[in-house]
Amino acid sequence: MERAAVVPIRRRTQAERSATTCGRLLDATIDCLLDLGYAGTTTTEVSKRAGVSRGAQLHHYPTKAALVTAAVEHLYMQRHAEFVAAMKKLPAGPDRLLASIDLLWTMVSGRTFYAWLELAVAARTDPELRESVAAITRRFTETVDRTFADLFGAEGALGPVSDVGPAFAFALMEGLALHRIVLDDGRLPQILETFKNLARLFLPPRAPKERS
Q: What is the pLDDT of residue 205?
A: 53
Percent of the chain with pLDDT over 70: 85
CA 130-100-162 angle, 5° bins: 70
**Residue ranges in 51-93 assigned as alpha helix (H):** 54-60, 64-88
Distance CA 195, CA 189 (A): 10
> Smallest Cα–Cα separation from 64: which of 84, 36, 85?
36
DSSP state of 63: S
Q: Residues 89-93: what's their mean pLDDT?
A: 76
Question: Is the pLDDT assigned to residue 151 strictly greater than 90?
Answer: no
Flag whether 179 is in a domain. Answer: yes
Q: What is the pLDDT of residue 44?
A: 94
Q: Residue 89's domain is classified under what CATH number?
A: 1.10.357
Distance CA 96, CA 179 (A): 27
What are residue 125's phi and psi, to 5 degrees? -115, 10
**Number of domains making up the chain:** 1
Model confidence over 19-71: pLDDT tens digits? Answer: 999 999 999 999 999 999 999 999 999 999 999 999 999 999 999 999 999 99
Model confidence over 153-170: pLDDT tens digits? Answer: 655 455 566 677 788 888
- 18-22 contacts at long range (C-beta below 8 A, 24 or more positions apart): 18/60, 21/50, 21/52, 21/56, 21/60, 22/60, 22/70
Flag whether 106 is in a domain. Answer: yes
Flag whether 186 is in a domain. Answer: yes
On whether the CB atoms of residues 80 and 116 are closer than 8 A, the answer is: no
Question: Is the pLDDT assigned to residue 7 strictly greater than 60?
Answer: no
Which helix (DSSP H) or strand (DSSP E) does residue 180 occupy? Answer: helix 165-182
For residue 125, the enclosing domain spans 69-201
Flag whether 84 is in a domain. Answer: yes
Flag whether 131 is in a domain. Answer: yes
Percent of the chain with pLDDT over 90: 32
What are residue 84's phi and psi, to 5 degrees? -60, -45
Flag whether 173 is in a domain. Answer: yes
Distance CA 67, CA 61 (A): 5
Q: Which amino acid is at 9?
A: I
Distance CA 101, CA 76 (A): 17
Q: What is the pLDDT of residue 208?
A: 47
Flag whether 34 is in a domain. Answer: no
Flag whether 12 is in a domain. Answer: no
DSSP state of 203: S
Distance CA 70, CA 61 (A): 9
Q: What is the pLDDT of residue 154?
A: 54
